[in-house]
Structure 1
Amino acid sequence: MGSGTFRALGHRNFRLYAGGMTVSLAGTWMQQLAQSWLVYRLTHSEWMLGLTWFCANIPILLLSPITGLVADRYPRRRIVLYAQTAAMIQAVILAILTLTGHIQVWQVLSLAVVLGIASAFDIPGRQALFVHLVGKEDLVNAISLNSAVFNSARVIGPPIAGFVVAKLGEGTCFALNALSFLAVIFSLVAMDVVEPPPQGSSETPLERIAQGFRYAWGTKAIRVLLVTAGAASLAAAPASALAPVFAEEIFHRGAQGLGMLSGALGLGAILGTLSLAGRRGAKGLHWVILLSTLGMGGGFIAYSWSSSFPISLGIMTFLGTCIFRQNAANNTAIQTHVEDHFRGRVMGLYSMMVIGMLPVGSLLSGAMASAIGSRWTTTIGGFASLFAAAFVYFHRRTLQTWLDL
């Protein structure tokens, strides 16, 4: 359906999705920055920053095998709609507690868990929905544009959040995020999606979950891609979880500096993912994954020891290009050839690796930073990326065979 970088937008359903998600994700990024800043303002604890990320993402690690099965069993659009509605309710409660001055750290952590549960259902459902929005012909383009949408919101949301937090406080950011969910809820309701009925099965849910694990583990290329995704996510955790420490204590730029760092990362991500959007097939993506993971390693090490805020903004732009180019290429490599009746379960495992590893990495990052400092902790993340790149290089022929199918 057409050609070029933005051809997936030729599909009405994907246009609705992209428009609604851009608004909603901008609000989500605003909340994420404001939440980190709120926790750091209340506690001044690197450990608590790590614990906050842990609470927000641990449900994804624990529940994704189940929610992946749900995405294979029930209408995916409906799953995403319910999950987005639950996330909106969570944002409303967080806004009310903060604006009324009753917010406490334990409440932030509890609501982060609630959001994590909603995300555990949303991510595999949303990833498995793409093929029904654009068809297989434009699936590669849709995945790349989705990542660009995600990171366009990252460019818009955090700088606005930094300004709003500095002028109006965290509660206003939470309220704006709650309003932003209306855009994506409207877009999902307005879609006209035809989803094939799920395949009947006499197996129990546990047997079907185990079947998904066996399929993913038994397909060597998927196994390699999932391990790479998990390793890259762990490696990126220190820079994400400790960003408020770099913004406040190292660069002395406060909440607005934190927003600028996050925005720079998002700008790089847009550049990286749009460069993939013009591809029609998956051939050669193993080299994209390898070089991007290698770039992550060098970027994290450089960022961890930079003393210049402008240079660090440039490094973050480079890191955004590498991180999200690797992520989009990995996602595309899996989705292009995965069997559709396993798609939800495999994407559940993928979300475990990409998002679910963040709580582990964040908790480790907070503990390590308390012991050896934020700079050394981020450096270790850089070396972890280099090891992940070596792993991809070792399995390059397996990936090439899979991608050439």
Structure 2
Amino acid sequence: MSTGSGAHSAPAPNSRHDTVSDDATATTQGAAPGVAAGPAATPRKGTFSSLRIRNYRLFASGQLVSNTGTWMQRIAQDWLVLSLTGSSTAVGITTALQFLPMLLFGLYGGVIADRFPKRTLLLMTQSAMGLTGLALAVLTLTGHVQVWHVYLVAFVLGLVTVLDNPSRQAFVVEMVGPDDLRNAVSLNSANFQSARLIGPAVAGVLIGAFGSGWAFLLNGLSFIAPVAGLLMMRTAELHKVERVPRSKGQLREGLRYVAGRPDLIWTIVLVGFIGTFGFNFPIWLTAFVHQVYHAGPGTYALFNGLMAAGSLLGALLAARRATSRLRLLVGAAVIFGALEIAAALAPSFWIFAALLAPIGMLGLTVNVTANSSVQLATDPAMRGRVMSLFMMVFMGGTPLGAPLVGWVTDAAGARVGFLAGGVISAVAAAVIGLVLARAGGLRLKIDLRRGHQHVAFVPRAAAPATDRELATVA
């Protein structure tokens, strides 16, 4: 199973100030590295500009097929666990086991991704992911599946993902180059969300008509497409990236690098809160379908499809966006949490359903903005390790949050569980936004006069130079 972030690295300039073509100009104006600001902003590109590159087209086509299978398996897996146990906590445990390896070993995956050829690593990981789907299909279609089988397959899949995620994220820039990085990040998310529109709908039909096993089988077979795409690539057209030689202390080096960059560390902390408490949709949506609306897998697929439609719109808008600003990240995270609160309190089925699309759009905006901001501000030699930390926090928080959220949902009901996730996400975003503003030498300005911007962050008087650099990021 692949994930939807789709973030990638750039070729190896000598410092983070060289990450994108306009960074030298941006830095002279006080911009933080890797983030365009003011008149130095990167010119707007076409929404699908990365697809003009053959290697990336092969990659994107294969990922669309496998992502569709991934979403089929996600729906089938959640519904199978709920059918076997009748417990939202069990669904949460399955989700937790799938992401636990990222929490335990995620940083080591980044070190390996920095050392070895990404294409070779991806051939191995994508093949292994296909085998996990086929194993679960055999168990289910033969009638021998038990819940511990699903737990085991989820954990093994998580182990593979530890290596697949940083390798896949660090590989796309080798296909498209740094100038198309931001566009490729967004198109990968659009790819994932397009599959999310198709996969749940197909899974809902298959589960209702034949059971979960056929969804698992199709997912396993779907990984033939990305493996074939990787094999068909023209390696001479890849942008060369210097691999990091094996040496002691590389993991600590990556952690020290992030610790010294407030723009990186607070962005990662924010996505950690959102990932741990705000992205537990398998738990909440199955609980709403089962407990609140007393419906079946078709309704669960509908809810996932609505979220996917909003996420796809968010990804396409992000593909047209020329910059990745932290103020957008914080604002989107606050609104994301507020919409979750509204959905938890929705008085009717259709109001709840209607809120899922904007929740998907804002969640995707948070993901893409954080992802591209971190990548573009990171030295290429560090990118595998930094992105593995990013994904470890974003996905690795799930083993901590999912069982807790599942327990709250079982004990207090679906609405309380969803409400708690929204409140934590909104509060965390607001607090971290204030921390970033303070670190960036900004203060909140409220101006109620007619014709003026009523709420804005403005520079504090005599802000230090290092603070002004962060202020431009925000």
Deviations 1:361-405 (A, max 9, x none): 111111222322221111111111111221342114657835958
**1:343-382 paired onto structure 2 within 5 Å:** 343-382=383-422
Q: Distance in 2 between matches of 1:127 and 1:196?
A: 14
Per the alignment, residue 275 of structure 1 pairs with 317
Contact 1:87–1:115 under 8 Å retained in 2: yes
Per the alignment, residue 219 of structure 1 pairs with 261
Contact 1:2–1:10 under 8 Å retained in 2: no
Per the alignment, residue 229 of structure 1 pairs with 271
Q: Distance in 2 between matches of 1:159 and 1:200?
A: 46
Label 1:144 to 1:397 Cα distance change in 2 as closer, same or farther (>3 A). farther
Q: Distance in 2 between matches of 1:93 and 1:64?
A: 24
Q: 1:306 aligns with which of 339, 346, 357?
A: 346
Higher-helix-fraction structure: 1
Per the alignment, residue 192 of structure 1 pairs with 234
Indicate the SS of the match to 2:223: helix
Q: 2:100 aligns with which of 58, 64, 87?
A: 58
Deviations 1:3-44 (A, max 9, x none): 311111111111111111011001001001100100000100
Equivalenced residues, count? 400
Per the alignment, residue 11 of structure 1 pairs with 53
Q: 2:196 aligns with which of 134, 137, 154?
A: 154
**1:3-402 paired onto structure 2 within 5 Å:** 3-193=45-235, 194=238, 195-200=240-245, 203-204=247-248, 207-282=249-324, 285-394=325-434, 395-396=436-437, 398=439, 401-402=469-470
Indicate the SS of the match to 2:80: helix
Indicate the SS of the match to 2:46: coil
Label 1:401 to 1:6 Cα distance change in 2 as closer, same or farther (>3 A). farther
Q: Distance in 2 between matches of 1:2 and 1:320?
A: 24
Q: Which amino acid aligns with 1:66?
A: Y
Q: Distance in 2 between matches of 1:317 and 1:12?
A: 32
Indicate the SS of the match to 1:228: helix
Label 1:245 to 1:301 Cα distance change in 2 as closer, same or farther (>3 A). same
Label 1:44 to 1:176 Cα distance change in 2 as closer, same or farther (>3 A). same
Contact 1:237–1:365 under 8 Å retained in 2: no
Taking only aligned residues, the RMSD between alpha carbons, in angstroms, comes to: 1.8
| Offset of residue 290 of structure 1 | 1.7
Contact 2:103–2:393 under 8 Å retained in 1: yes
Structure 2: stretches of 5+ with no match in the other structure: 1-42, 441-467
Q: Distance in 1 between matches of 2:469 and 2:224?
A: 43
Q: Distance in 2 between matches of 1:9 and 1:307?
A: 43
Q: Which amino acid aligns with 2:269?
A: V
Which stretch of the first structure deviates more once superposed, 359-368 or 219-228? 359-368
Contact 2:437–2:471 under 8 Å retained in 1: no
Q: Distance in 1 between matches of 2:221 and 2:469?
A: 46
Contact 1:89–1:178 under 8 Å retained in 2: yes
Q: Distance in 1 between matches of 2:318 and 2:439?
A: 21
Deviations 1:46-96 (A, max 9, x none): 211111101111111111100000110001111122111111111111000
| Offset of residue 237 of structure 1 | 3.6
Deviations 1:231-263 (A, max 9, x none): 111222443323211112212221011111111
Q: Which amino acid aligns with 2:469?
A: T
Deviations 1:240-297 (A, max 9, x none): 3232111122122210111111111111011111111112333xx2222122111111
Label 1:122 to 1:403 Cα distance change in 2 as closer, same or farther (>3 A). farther
Label 1:396 to 1:127 Cα distance change in 2 as closer, same or farther (>3 A). farther
Indicate the SS of the match to 1:242: helix
Contact 1:230–1:354 under 8 Å retained in 2: yes
Q: Which amino acid aligns with 1:168?
A: F
Q: Identity, % of aligned pairs? A: 35
Label 1:403 to 1:350 Cα distance change in 2 as closer, same or farther (>3 A). farther
Q: Distance in 1 between matches of 2:244 and 2:128?
A: 28
Contact 2:45–2:322 under 8 Å retained in 1: no
Contact 2:166–2:384 under 8 Å retained in 1: yes
Indicate the SS of the match to 2:294: coil
Q: Distance in 2 between matches of 1:51 and 1:63?
A: 18
Q: Distance in 2 between matches of 1:112 and 1:365?
A: 18
Label 1:403 to 1:145 Cα distance change in 2 as closer, same or farther (>3 A). farther
Q: Distance in 2 between matches of 1:403 and 1:63?
A: 34
Off by >3 Å, runs of 4+ in structure 1? 237-240, 396-405
Contact 1:98–1:170 under 8 Å retained in 2: yes
Q: Which amino acid aligns with 1:33?
A: I
Q: Distance in 2 between matches of 1:154 and 1:404?
A: 35
Q: Distance in 1 between matches of 2:71 and 2:96?
A: 17
